[in-house]
Amino acid sequence: MLLSVLAALLAASPAQAAAVACAADPATGCIGGTIRTAAGEPAAGIALTITGQGLTLEAATGADGRWSVPVTTAGDYEVAVDDTTLPAGETLRDPAANPRTVTVRLGSSVGALFPLGAPTAGGGSGSTPTGGEPSDAPGSDPAVAAPDSSKPSSITGQRVAQQVINGIVFGLLLALASVGLSLIYGTTGLSNFAHGEQVTLGALLAYVGCQLLDLPLLVSGTVAVLVGAASGWLQDAAIWHPLRTRRIGTTQQMIVTIGLSMALQYTYQFFFGGSPLRIVTANPKPVRIGGMLFTQQSLISAGIAIIAIGAVAFFLVRTRTGRATRAVSDNPALAAASGITVERIVRIVWTLGAGLAALGGVLLGLYFNATNWNMGGAILLLMFAAVTLGGLGTAWGALVGSLVIGLVVELSTFVIPSDMRYAGALVILILVLLVRPQGILGRAERIG
**Which amino acid makes up residue 108?**
S
Report the CATH number at residue 59: 2.60.40.10
- β-pairing verdict for 109-111 and 29-34: parallel
- Residue 435 dihedral angles phi and psi, to the nearest 5°: -90, -40
Residue 232 covered by a domain: yes
**Which amino acid makes up residue 146?**
A
Residue 13 covered by a domain: no
Residue 376 covered by a domain: yes
DSSP label of 236: I
102 and 173 part of one domain: no
The tens place of each residue's pLDDT in the chain, 448 residues long, gives 544 544 444 444 433 333 345 777 667 888 988 998 887 788 888 999 999 888 888 888 888 888 888 888 888 899 999 888 888 888 888 888 888 899 888 777 888 888 888 775 444 444 443 333 333 334 443 333 333 333 333 577 778 888 899 899 999 999 999 999 999 999 999 999 999 999 999 999 999 999 999 999 999 999 999 999 999 999 999 999 999 999 999 999 999 999 999 999 999 999 998 888 889 887 677 787 877 777 888 888 999 999 999 999 999 999 999 999 999 988 888 999 989 999 999 999 999 999 999 999 999 998 888 888 999 998 998 999 898 888 877 788 889 989 999 998 888 888 887 777 788 778 877 887 788 877 777 666 555 4
Q: How far apart are the first and last CA of the chain?
A: 44
Q: Specify the pLDDT at position 271.
A: 93
Domain boundary residue among 111, 130, 149? 130
Q: In the chain, what's the furthest Cα-to-Cα distance?
A: 80
- Tell which phi-psi region holds residue 20, choosing left (phi > 0), alpha (psi between -120 and 50) or beta: beta
Residue 83 covered by a domain: yes
87 and 126 part of one domain: yes
- Tell which phi-psi region holds residue 420, choosing left (phi > 0), alpha (psi between -120 and 50) or beta: alpha
Q: How many domains does the chain have?
A: 2
Q: Is the peptide bond before 42 cis (omega within 30 degrees of 0)?
A: no
259 and 336 part of one domain: yes
192 and 317 part of one domain: yes
175 and 108 part of one domain: no
- Nearest CA-CA partner of 223 in 144, 262, 295, 279: 279
Residues 187, 423: contact at Cβ < 8 Å?
A: no
Residue 446 covered by a domain: no
CB neighbour class for 260 (10 Å; exposed up to 12, middle 13-18, buried from 19): middle
Distance CA 327, CA 339 (A): 11
192 and 323 part of one domain: yes
Residues 29, 107: contact at Cβ < 8 Å?
A: yes
CB neighbour class for 325 (10 Å; exposed up to 12, middle 13-18, buried from 19): buried
CB neighbour class for 122 (10 Å; exposed up to 12, middle 13-18, buried from 19): exposed
**Which amino acid makes up residue 223?**
V
Residue 233 covered by a domain: yes
SS3 at position 24: coil
Query: For residue 412, what are the domain limits?
Result: 160-435
Residue 140 covered by a domain: no
Distance CA 286, CA 280 (A): 15
The three-point CA angle 357-364-310 to 5° equals: 55
Distance CA 178, CA 89 (A): 49
**Which amino acid makes up residue 169?**
V
Query: For the packed helices 320-330 and 296-318, what is the interaxial angle rounded to 10 degrees?
Result: 80
Distances 441 to 42, 314, 386, 397, 444 between C-alpha atoms, Å: 46, 19, 11, 5, 10
222 and 272 part of one domain: yes
Distance CA 376, CA 234 (A): 20
**Alpha-carbon radius of gyration of the chain:** 23
Q: How many other C-beta atoms are found inside a 10 Å radius of the C-beta of residue 430?
A: 10
118 and 166 part of one domain: no
Report the CATH number at residue 259: 1.10.3470
203 and 68 part of one domain: no
178 and 115 part of one domain: no
212 and 262 part of one domain: yes
Residue 15 covered by a domain: no
232 and 94 part of one domain: no
